[in-house]
Amino acid sequence: MKSLCTVLFVLLAVPCFAADLTGTWVVRDPLPDGTFRTTYLDLHQEGPRITGTIRVTQFYFKIVESTDGSEGFTLTGSMMDGTNERRVKYEGKLVGDELHVATRRRPDSELIQMVAHRAPPGEGAYPARLPLPAIHKVADNGLARTPPMGWNSWNKFAGRVDDAAVRAMADAMASNGMKEVGYQYINIDDTWEAGRDTRGDITTNTKFPDMKALADYVHAKGLKIGIYSSPGPNTCAGYEGSYGHEEQDARTYAAWGIDYLKYDWCGARNLYTDQQMRALYQVMGDALLKTGRPILYSLSQYGRADVWKWGADVGGNAWRTTGDIRDTWDSMTTIGFSQDELAPWAAPGHWNDPDMLEIGNGGMTEDEYRTHMSLWSILAAPLLAGNDSRNVTPAILEILTNREVIAINQDRDGKQGRRITKSGDQEVWTRPLSGGAQAIGLFNRGGLPAKITVNWSDLGLKTAPSRARDLWAHSDLKLDGEEYSVTVPAHGVVMLRVSK
């Protein structure tokens, strides 16, 4: 409904709006790491109508609806994220030379009140779109002949990761047996970044006082170190991205001694479509190769644009196939059991990545975490632990360091496993292994123990395998007859390695 004020303006040209809001307004919220979360309102007012943009660090909305009256104004912003529209609403009023505004991060979250001040015109403007390169094939970097193994900060620490936590993880993993069984990369996810210096070099925020010293520390433990960035101007958490600085950032990573890059789409969505992402991933693939340092390249774009079809061609060693995992049975199984059809795209050097492990983060039972570890191993998925390695129970450590299960994950043929049967909540998956062996996962997704049977003929075998090993019980099995039946705990797994 139009306000009285709007009606007066339209009919009688009587202006009764709060004031002219035209201009650039900024709210700068300091974060504990020395960086800022900024909100820029770039407004243009014509009578009661307000147009323009709202930029909240990594989000960039075009104003699509507005109202204005003596009580104040409202704005609705819209942005596209792939094919999804995201909307935001602001309400506010001019108080002296301050703009008092309120918004919600999500429709159901609390109202956040902010005070914006006038900023020089153009400050905080979203960067222009840079032209995209022609598509070509980036050479294979020769890394990740088996799925990458290591640890990543995001699942447990999110924005709280700092230098001390990374050192502590390296200490723990070098001494608790994880390094011995193959965990190698210690990966810093989002929130290490600050802005750029006068030369345009990326800088670290106060949580990471000296990245080179940190890399040296991790290397001295016999481990490798990874970092994170985005092809967009900002990362998913709103920190500085590599947009327009790809080669420069790759050189910085190499100079610091970085061994792994996770490159996360989020911030680029305001400038490019999903169909254009291949070109942006190629830019960083080229830049990493050009440094001459072996840097494992992990694409994080949530499985959009059929990344498995082109991930290897941009130099990617792994690509996310889904949205973010959470530490719940539902999230882990929805992701893990949906990977069957992607199997043909996995190969040495290039892996489907159903996201990082949640094992040990507390949201699932030990049986459920065994299912997580078994499934990720059959899927030839990267094994990036996501827990706090300093406080790990013996049971969780045993799950993460089960050498027999890890050997399946790391099988040198690099063939991803597939589902061979499904009956209600019970599924059997197999993975072909080098030397003609096979891994078998008998998964019970149901809430009660269930008997699961695998027929040797389903595995293409005429008779029972002569050798069989239960990889969680660590015991040999004697098999005969035409099938194998076992009672599998609720949400649990029995995992075998069999050979003729």
- Pairing between strand 438-444 and 351-353? unpaired
Rounded to the nearest 5°, which phi and psi values hold at 173?
A: -70, -25
Q: Who contacts 213 (Cβ-Cβ below 8 Å, separation ≥6)?
A: none
57 binding ligand GLA? (CB under 6 A): no
Yes or no: say if 159 and 237 are a contact pair by the CB < 8 Å rule. yes
- Which strand (E) or helix (H) includes residue 64? strand 59-69
272 binding ligand GLA? (CB under 6 A): no
Radius of gyration of the chain from Cα atoms?
26
Catalytic residue list contains 264:
yes
Residues within window 396-425 making contact with ligand GLA, judged by CB under 6 A: none
Q: Who contacts 343 (Cβ-Cβ below 8 Å, separation ≥6)?
A: 352, 415, 416, 417, 418
3-class secondary-structure state, position 449? coil
190 binding ligand GLA? (CB under 6 A): yes
Shortest separation between residue 354's beta carbon and ligand GLA, angstroms: 12
CB nearer to ligand GLA: pick between 354 and 465: 354
CB nearer to ligand GLA: pick between 25 and 376: 376
CB nearer to ligand GLA: pick between 216 and 330: 330
Among residues 140, 324, 413, 458, the one annotated as catalytic is: 324
Half-sphere exposure of 119 (CA within 13 A, CB side): 17
List the structure tokens of 38.
Answer: 């900024």
């595995």: which residue's tokens? 459
3-class secondary-structure state, position 26? strand
Binding window for ligand GLA (CB under 6 A); candidates: 32-40, 43-51, 234-242, 342-350: 234-242
CB nearer to ligand GLA: pick between 24 and 57: 57
Half-sphere exposure of 5 (CA within 13 A, CB side): 15
For residue 296, which of 187, 436, 170 has the smallest C-alpha distance? 187
56 binding ligand GLA? (CB under 6 A): no
Yes or no: say if 367 and 489 are a contact pair by the CB < 8 Å rule. yes
CB nearer to ligand GLA: pick between 295 and 384: 384
Q: How many residues bind ligand GLA (CB under 6 A)?
A: 9
At position 131, the amino acid (one-letter code) is P
Shortest separation between residue 328's beta carbon and ligand GLA, angstroms: 16
Q: Which residue among 26, 101, 169, 237 contacts ligand GLA (CB under 6 A)?
A: 237
Catalytic residue list contains 81:
no
Shortest separation between residue 357's beta carbon and ligand GLA, angstroms: 12
CB nearer to ligand GLA: pick between 103 and 152: 152
Residues within window 101-160 making contact with ligand GLA, judged by CB under 6 A: 154
Residues within window 284-323 making contact with ligand GLA, judged by CB under 6 A: 300
Active site residues: 264, 324
Binding site residues, ligand GLA, CB under 6 A:
154, 189-190, 235-237, 264, 300, 324
